[in-house]
Amino acid sequence: MVNRPFSYPVAEKLAKVFSKHGVEYLFIGKSGAILYGFPDTTQDIDLFPEKSRKNGIRIVAALKELGFEIDQTLEKAIIEGKDFVQIRGGPFDLDLVFAPDGIDSYDTAKKNAHVIADMFPVASLRDIIASKRKANRQRDREVLDRLEDFYHYLKTRENSPGSH
């Protein structure tokens, strides 16, 4: 298996290409938390795209430009917005989660989201935590307490005098 680490240049390219194609999406999961500064590691990128045919077509075009090989079956699934699409054959590991646990709708999540470094749209930490809590897998439970602790640290930091 070839190693395909997700590095900053790759992340920057993803953001630029998705923006160019007008893709509506948010980072979620641990990859989203890491963009906020959560000190942990992960392997894949979890994206929560808006579920619409138009957005699906844009995602396919963007992924092809990023070097993903998208055959007809995969293209159809993305355009139809199948709830969970796990892609391992591309330049980096990517999960498209069109209906994440614990999040009511894309529109609500988008309202609560933040853009990190003027480039990366990320679901709110509250939504990321809610999603992990609802999923309740072993790997989610292992990180939840620390994620909650990090969230409270960030809130305290934002509210402290002289914070920025």
Residues that bind other proteins (CB under 8 A): 1, 3-8, 11, 31, 34-43, 45, 69, 73-74, 77, 82-89, 93, 97, 99-101, 116-117, 120, 136-139, 142, 146, 149-150, 153-154, 157
Smallest separation, CB 18 to other proteins (Å): 15
- Least Å from the CB of residue 146 to other proteins: 7
Look at residue 46 and give its three-state secondary structure: strand
Which residue lies nearer to other proteins by CB, 86 or 105?
A: 86
Strands 84-87 and 45-49, how do they pair?
A: unpaired
- Cβ distance 23 to 58 under 8 Å? yes
Cβ nearer to other proteins, comparing 30 with 58: 30
Smallest gap, in angstroms, from Cβ of residue 21 to other proteins? 20
In whole angstroms, the minimum distance from the beta carbon of 107 to other proteins comes to: 19
Separation between Cα atoms, residue 9 and residue 92, nearest integer Å: 12
Considering the complex, state which of residue 107 and residue 138 has its C-beta at the smaller distance from other proteins. 138
Q: Whose Cβ is closer to other proteins: residue 107's or residue 118's?
A: 118
Backbone angles phi, psi at 47, to 5 degrees: -115, 140
Residue 133 Cβ, how far from other proteins at the closest point, in Å? 13
Q: Are 129 and 147 a contacting pair, CB within 8 Å?
A: yes
Cβ proximity to other proteins, 21 vs 34, nearer residue: 34
Sequence-separated (6 or more) residues with CB below 8 Å from residue 49: 23, 24, 25, 26, 55, 56, 59, 81, 96, 98, 106
